[in-house]
Chain A
Amino acid sequence: MPLSRRSLIGSAAAGAALAAGPWRLALADGVTDKRLVLVVLRGGLDGLAAFAPYGDPNYRSLRNQLALDEPGRDDGLVDLGGFFGLHPALAPLAPWYQAGEMLAVHAVATPYRERSHFDAQDLLENGTARPHGSDDGWLNRALAQLGASDRRLGLAVGHGVPLVLRGDVDVANWQPSQLPAADPSFHSLVAGLYRNDPMLAHAFEEGLRATAMAEETLDEATMRPGRRIGRQEAATLLAETAGRMLADPAGPRVAVLEVPGWDTHAGQGTVNGRLATALRRLAESLTRLREGLGPVWSDTAIAVVTEFGRTAGPNGSGGTDHGTGTVAILLGGAVAGGRMIADWPGLSTGALYEGRDLAPTQDLRAFLKGVLRDHLNLPESSLAAGVFPGSSGVAAMNGLIAV
């Protein structure tokens, strides 16, 4: 059932009836035109595979069966300036790098130094230096700094709202549904039931807003009810839709996408295997995201982060275990890319963190602060105080965003 524009606005109005004011406000003064997408790779990306330091003298011996072939060979790395090479599964992104629209920061880590996924992800998202250090997320606190007021500037794509976007500022949340949309009058009856249940009322109202917004953005083919989509298609569809929602001048400015599947304890592989499959999907999703962003690509920065890296060498099962240093990637038309940023610690046994991981030489918060300061124009003082509490000693990275 392709929904008419009228019915979409109708259901939005039903949701809006619960709250003060219509949701489609005119752009508030001072709201940025920049778009920021945070892609969270859950499970711990092997940065030494995605951006391989093939020029390091210890690379081949340390990585052993996980080492990738040098640039120029069939299925070899794509060279990124003579020291680092891009994993062949990420080759579709190489033109972005060459066009100055992609960079990577290597040997980077959050302040977390243990090896639990769950604590590491919590810390990555809460923006403090410890797990469970805050009940809300740094990106939500950054939205508060943007003066978001009543307008939904943040969008979580997928089933839930990840911690990084949770907090005082309302955000939208969307995922395609295979259910036919209910009649707006039914929605208002339901809304009535939730009058005395603030949690449900709030979630339902926000959900109706996001649904209405998505339906205005999507074409009929993707929204046809009952159409079954595979998981891979779903992931890329989510990415493209997020892009289109962000491209809407009255839409969100910040979106978060979560991508699972990086915890490659066994059978990680090289050109093929579990990690290559995940990387290929990531490249495809980013490509579709870019297509969706269309005209606002030049205003966009996409930060790809993960909770920690993996052990530098293979484990006993052809995989890698939970580690420390890894990469963070920044892509988009607004990025001052075409380069690798690394204070390279080396891969000799003595240089590895605890003798097993790529040693982190950069703080992920410096990278994120650099993006927030130069892309979203947030003052560094408020980043240190409110967004990443206790990070005043961690200076924002300079020059990530093109001026």
Chain B
Amino acid sequence: MSRRDAAVAAGRFGYGPKPGELDQIASDPRGWVIEQLSKSPERPEGLRAIPDSVDRAAQVLVALNQGADNLAQMMRQEGRRIYISDVAARTLAAARTEDAVIERLVHFWSNHFTVSASRPIVLPVALPFEQEAIRPHVLGRFTDMLLAVARHPAMLAYLDNAVSVGPNSWAGRRRDRGLNENLAREILELHTLGVDGGYTQDDVRQLALILTGWTVRRPQDGDPGRFRFLPAIHEPGDKRLLGVVYAEDGQAEGERALADLARHPSTARHIAVKLARHFIADQPPGTAVDRLAAAFQASDGDLHAVSRELVQIDAVWADPLPKFKSPNDLVISALRSMGGAPGNSEVGTGAVASLDMLGQAPFTAPSPAGWPDTAEAWATPEAMVRRVEWGLEVAQRIGGSIDPRRFVDWTIAPVAADDTLIAIDRAPSAEEGLALAFASPAFQRR
């Protein structure tokens, strides 16, 4: 029975406690996490109505066919509305769900396989991508997630594979188009092996050749927005990736290559480092990384087994507040701490504006590497002042409706320093007391 460990479980594995949640978790904090890991990662209430990527992509592709100006106009009118409503739904779902561990895993893996708003087509399909390619696999097999990601229109568009043409393919010999290495490079560098995972520029090119033909149906192809393998742009012949020959086999060639990459020891290590950094510390202990990599390999990339292993690592529970919250953590945990703001129709829009202002508007990561996951990137001078002032603004909007002392009890009390609790207790007003609670190290960290 430990409220301290309950706070660790809620903050590190979930998105912070809702009122009363710490008391529910306290009887068995590790068991609370493990129980959530045994659930099926279904969409929470609030995300079930998000349209399929095919519907969204088809809309964009049809507009694009009618001309770039037409598309630009549509995106100006519709794009912003869709984005705000998607991100609001995503944020509120995490703020309100009972199964916050699942949402954290979805966001973690979505960031690992970042798609970002650099192309018009990406933004409307970003949240559908997360629901279709990421969510079903967060407690399944890594290889399935990798394949679902690499086939998804959002990723094919974002990293240009949709327009990559084998130089010796039927189309490559006739048209002025050719190979695009972007997706292949990032699969090797970011999604699987890692930059020091032991591949060369030639491996990048070979994987790009293997993946030629993996594209998206256009309106003139019928059923626009869906994945298709297009033999006419697929590079014919054998390819050689990491010393393995992949005999010409159309789409199956790429499926085999991705499956081999998913079970490569460098991939196990790369994933282990990222998980440990997210769930343990910016500089995680090497022994923890070793255990996670071993669990990944022993289970052939079973993410349920790897996630369970994580819970069993004592280093996770040693320090209650090793991680500095990202803006996404901060906004969602603040919403949860206030009960998820049920029934308030403006809170979603406010959450989107907050994320943007704090520097982490979802699906706009600066590069395919995704958002950084260390304090160094987020605890900058400019951001620190902004986070404090944001907390004050939130507290002022709520007015005096939450008693800071009660708030502290259901959120940070088990892990906060004594002087934090004293300062909040002595605050000149309820608003400032709540704002101090938001600003406190115990709330800014997890």
- Chain A positions within 8 Å of B, measured between CB atoms, are 42-43, 65, 114-119, 131, 156, 158-161, 166, 172-175, 177-182, 186-187, 189-190, 192-197, 199-200, 203-211, 260, 263, 265-266, 315-317, 319, 321-322, 354
Contacts and interface: CB of A to CB of B under 8 A. Distances in A.
Given A181-B389, A190-B436, 13 more contacts: A117-B369, A118-B367, A118-B369, A159-B380, A160-B378, A172-B381, A193-B419, A196-B441, A316-B179, A316-B180, A317-B177, A317-B178, A321-B182
A316 B357 contact: no
21 contacts: A117-B367, A118-B195, A159-B382, A159-B383, A175-B382, A177-B389, A178-B357, A182-B388, A189-B432, A193-B419, A194-B441, A199-B324, A200-B379, A204-B381, A210-B381, A265-B159, A265-B182, A315-B181, A316-B179, A317-B164, A317-B180
A213 to B, nearest CB: 11
A175 B195 CA distance: 32
B130 to A, nearest CB: 22
B221 interface: no
Interface centre among A118, A178, A195, A316 (most CB of B within 10 A): A316
B102 interface: no
Given A119-B195, A200-B379, A316-B180, A192 B172 contact: no
A227 to B, nearest CB: 13
Contacts of A173: 380-382
A42 B366 contact: yes
Nearest to A121: B367
Contacts of B165: 316
B359 interface: yes
Interface residues of B, number: 54
Contact of B385 (A118, A166, A204): A204
A203 B380 contact: yes
Interface string B154-179: 00000110011101000010001111
Interface string B177-197: 111111001000100000100
Interface of B: 159-160, 163-165, 167, 172, 176-182, 185, 189, 195, 201, 204, 324, 357, 359, 366-367, 369, 375-386, 388-390, 392-393, 417, 419-420, 423, 427, 432, 435-436, 439-441, 444
Contacts of A43: 367
Given A118-B367, A203-B379, A203-B380, A196 B419 contact: yes
A120 B380 CA distance: 23
A177 B381 CA distance: 13
A161 B441 contact: no
A115 B185 contact: yes
Contacts of B383: 159-160, 203, 207
Tell me the dominant secondary structure on chain B's binding face. Answer: helix
A319 B180 contact: yes
A190 B388 contact: yes
Contacts of A211: 382, 385
Contacts of A319: 160, 180
Contacts of A181: 389
B375 A199 contact: yes
Interface centre among A115, A199, A260 (most CB of B within 10 A): A199
B180 A321 contact: yes
B381 A322 contact: no
A172 B381 CA distance: 7
Given A182-B392, A197-B441, A211-B385, A265 B180 contact: yes
Contacts of A205: 381
B161 to A, nearest CB: 10
A199 B181 CA distance: 40
Nearest to B161: A317
A187 B381 CA distance: 14
Nearest to B190: A118
A131 B165 CA distance: 32
Contacts of B369: 117-118
A118 to B, nearest CB: 5
B427 to A, nearest CB: 7
B42 to A, nearest CB: 34
Contact of B201 (A178, A180, A208, A354): A354
A20 B204 CA distance: 53
B163 A316 contact: yes
A256 to B, nearest CB: 12
